[in-house]
Amino acid sequence: MLSLIKLPRVFTINQVPKVFHEDSIISGYRHPRSSATDCILSLFQLTNETLNIWTHFLPTWYFLYKLLMVVLMQDAWHDAFTWPLLVFLVSACVYPLASSCAHTFSTMSTRARHVCFFFDYGALSFYSLGSAITYSAYVIPDKWVNSTFHLYYIPIAVVNTVICTALACYSRLGLPFLQYNHNIMKRFPECHSPKLGKMLRILAFAYPYLFDNIPVFYRIFMCTGEGCTDNETNPLHYRHTALAFLTAFLFATHLPERLAPGCFDYIGHSHQLFHVCAIIGTHFQMQAIELDMAVRRQWLQAHGPPITFANTLGAALLCVCLSLCVIYTFSLPLYWSPARKSKRGRRTKTPAKVSN
């Protein structure tokens, strides 16, 4: 059946513009101006992006199934205690979906590539806020419940999502209009140092992760004595924490392809492994959250602060709106040019001249 459809051809690194190059990946590149149809068709042929797409597209359905189970089985709308879990599950659906869409359509043009990954960064920030909201409601150790840290934890996490989405977007091209525009799309942060863009992006993801996980790190690595919530969930917290560090290691080092450039172009390169580790980590994180939620429900409902719309769904909606504003601000100069606009304006005003 597939042989009846003409699949798009793939290219080597020297045949595509620099913006599409991936570290130590030599072949399997799609056309840098693919149509949307070609992008979708490329899901069914082996390119260097195919497994990047599927490793996040399939898990989206798994988390969507979990979300629907909670909505349908746990009377989620009337039980405010489940709202943080809902936010987390929505964010766990959104980030792999945004990532698989970004990897699918990033070869439509240079501009599309940047915008696709801006959305990918926004979705990751949203996921980190989703984690923070559940940690505040179910995971925070007993002795920190109602502390000053607990009080400011979610507001700071919301501010972090804006800073980190902006920093991740900045890491690609620099400041909108000031350092890039419709005509100039140099990677400004990389003009000074080729590694700066990558380092800023790692910082943009590592910083909210480290902040959001303070309650988990304290609980499983540092807390001693009473009030540490040393329960049966801790092994699951160790597991998702270990996977998060493995994910960061793969993202930062580009192993194994750096050791043998060209050998892992299609299967087994770091970005695929990074996706798989991130998903398995999210799975263990979800199990840990659900177990803490079940085991500690009574105690938390008696002693914890009330779970409100503002510190769950409201914070999530605010994060989404602010992140969309950041993405819009960084995307606007790629598509908006005053010169183009005025030329188009002149053309429409004097059609006779143009036809002459």
Binding region for Zn ion (CB under 5 A) = 99
Collapsing DSSP states into helix, strand and coil, what is residue 308?
Answer: coil
Cβ nearer to Zn ion, comparing 83 with 95: 95
Cβ nearer to Zn ion, comparing 81 with 121: 121
CB of 99 to Zn ion, least distance (A): 5
The torsion angles phi and psi of 107, rounded to 5 degrees, stand at -100, 20
| Residue nearest Zn ion by beta-carbon distance | 99
Total Cβ atoms within 10 A of residue 352: 6
CB of 265 to Zn ion, least distance (A): 16
C-beta separation of 283 from 90 below 8 A? no
CB of 302 to Zn ion, least distance (A): 42
What DSSP line would sit under 139-153, residue for residue? IS-GGGTTSHHHHHH
The torsion angles phi and psi of 76, rounded to 5 degrees, stand at -60, -35
Cβ nearer to Zn ion, comparing 42 with 99: 99
Angle at which helices 270-303 and 110-134 cross, to 10°: 30
Q: Known binder of ligand: residue 254?
A: no
Q: Known binder of ligand: residue 271?
A: yes
The pair of three-digit structure tokens given for residue 220, joined into one six-digit string: 């499983």
CB of 248 to Zn ion, least distance (A): 13
Give, as one character, the DSSP assignment of residue 29. Answer: B
Tokens 């996980």 identify what position?
Answer: 213
C-beta separation of 212 from 128 below 8 A? yes
Sign of CA dihedral 29, 107, 328, 332: positive
Using CA atoms of 121, 10, 270, 93 in order, give the dihedral in degrees to the nearest 10: 40
Cβ nearer to Zn ion, comparing 52 with 311: 52
CB of 103 to Zn ion, least distance (A): 6
Contacts of 286 (CB under 8 A, 6+ apart): 63, 66, 88, 89, 92
Cβ nearer to Zn ion, comparing 101 with 236: 101
Cβ nearer to Zn ion, comparing 105 with 144: 105
Collapsing DSSP states into helix, strand and coil, what is residue 11?
Answer: strand
Cβ nearer to Zn ion, comparing 100 with 213: 100
CB of 271 to Zn ion, least distance (A): 6
The pair of three-digit structure tokens given for residue 315, joined into one six-digit string: 């914070």
Tokens 């493995």 identify what position?
Answer: 246
CB of 72 to Zn ion, least distance (A): 31
Does 256 sit behind a cis peptide bond, omega within 30 degrees of 0 on the bond before it? yes
Cβ nearer to Zn ion, comparing 108 with 236: 108
CB of 86 to Zn ion, least distance (A): 25
Q: Known binder of ligand: residue 237?
A: no
Q: What angle do CA 242, 246, 250 make, to 5 degrees?
A: 170
The pair of three-digit structure tokens given for residue 79, joined into one six-digit string: 């039980």
Residue list, annotated binding site for Zn(2+): 103, 271, 275
Residue list, annotated binding site: 103, 271, 275
